[in-house]
Amino acid sequence: MTPPLIYPFFAFVFGMVVGSFLNVCICRLPKNESVVSPPSHCPGCSYQIRWYDNIPLLSYLLLRGKCRGCGTHISLQYPLVELLNGVLTMLLFLRFGPTLTFAALFLLCSALVVITFIDIEHQIIPDEISLSGILVGFVLSFFLHGHSWLNSLLGILLGGGSLLLVAYLYQRLTGKDGMGGGDIKLLAMMGAFLGWKAVPFIIFASSLVGSVIGVSIMLFQKKDTKLAIPFGPYLAFAAVLYIFYGKSLIRWYLGLSGFYQG
């Protein structure tokens, strides 16, 4: 039965409210600051943000993207994170309904939003998220329908182990570090939530998208770029793609290859 439209709307609003907190995590975790205290404030004038200036998306529009206290420009990241998390939450609700699966994937996607923005700006993936996520994903596997602790455990081992092997081989062949430890723990977290079958898809899809974007950047710059491009956002994109379309894309590919007959 299709849920009334009001329910997805509430999911969207809830996702944006959580997105406001995710912005705090994105700003403070790389600095090893508390995400609880002090209250949200302007980094320019330390103006403590009132509740009516902290309404997701709406306050940004009403303030025209500027601090009420000093007029400093507010980064577009703030409404973007709120909007992105709201849309993801609504899509998850439409797909899975008010279930424990929805709650688990909501936690995963929210974590991926934080990781994506931190990795893009700082080229790090906080252990506070990835290691905690591995534990949470494994514990939830005991309660999720269609999932199991063994599937989650294999996902952790395959996710972390596969990238660890790639990093080891790359280092042995080139003498350089090509894969960060954060990416290894991130894929292990994804395996904990999504199971081992998701890992090959995530690796393939993230590598494909990363290669296309990397080559495009080199062609645009018309030279071999030495710019360090974080891999975490590609892994996050591939994980979200798997959540919504992974099984359909796998069946399509196997059918195209003649391995799947229905």
Listed by start position, the domains of the chain span 1-98, 127-262
Rounded to two decimals, the pTM is 0.90
Instruction: Give CA–CA dist 245/98, Å, rounded.
Output: 20
Are 234 and 180 spatial neighbours (Cβ–Cβ below 8 Å)?
no
Query: What's residue 262's pLDDT?
Result: 47
Length of the chain: 262
The two structure tokens encoding residue 57:
């998306």
Instruction: Give CA–CA dist 255/261, Å, rounded.
Output: 6
Query: What's residue 38's pLDDT?
Result: 80
The pLDDT tens digits along the chain (262 residues) read 555 779 999 999 999 999 999 999 999 999 999 988 888 877 777 778 887 878 899 999 988 888 887 888 889 999 999 999 999 999 999 999 999 999 999 999 999 999 999 999 999 999 999 999 999 999 999 999 889 999 999 999 999 998 888 878 877 787 776 667 899 999 999 999 999 999 999 999 999 999 888 888 777 776 555 556 789 999 999 999 999 999 888 888 777 666 555 4
Q: Of 245, 140, 125, 235, which is closest to residue 195 (Cα–Cα)? A: 140
Q: How far is CA 4 from the centre of its chain?
A: 28
Q: Of 169, 177, 67, 183, which is closest to residue 119 (Cα–Cα)? A: 183
Are 125 and 182 spatial neighbours (Cβ–Cβ below 8 Å)?
yes
Are 65 and 73 spatial neighbours (Cβ–Cβ below 8 Å)?
yes
Taking residue 96's Cβ as centre, other Cβ atoms within 10 Å add up to 16
Query: What's residue 21's pLDDT?
Result: 95
Query: What's residue 168's pLDDT?
Result: 80
Instruction: Give CA–CA dist 122/147, Å, rounded.
Output: 34
**Half-sphere exposure of residue 177: CA atoms within 13 angstroms, side-chain side:** 7
Instruction: Give CA–CA dist 232/116, Å, rounded.
Output: 6
